[in-house]
Amino acid sequence: MDLLLDAIGWLGAALLLYGYAMVSSSRMSGDGLAYQLINLTGSVTLMINSAYNDAWPSAGLNLIWAAIGVVALIKLTRMGVSR
Q: What is the pLDDT of residue 59?
A: 97
Rounded to two decimals, the pTM is 0.89
**Per-residue b/e over 4-42, b at no fewer than 16 CB within 10 Å?**
ebeebbeebeebbeebbebbeeeebeeebeebbbbbbbb
Q: What is the pLDDT of residue 81?
A: 63
Domain ranges across the chain = 2-79
Q: What is the pLDDT of residue 54?
A: 96
pLDDT band of residue 2 (cuts 50, 70, 90) is very high
Q: Looking at the predicted structure, is the pLDDT value of residue 83 above 80? A: no
Tens-place pLDDT, residues 24-70: 999 999 989 999 999 999 999 999 999 999 999 999 999 999 999 99
Query: What values do phi and psi take at 80, rounded to 5?
Result: 75, 25
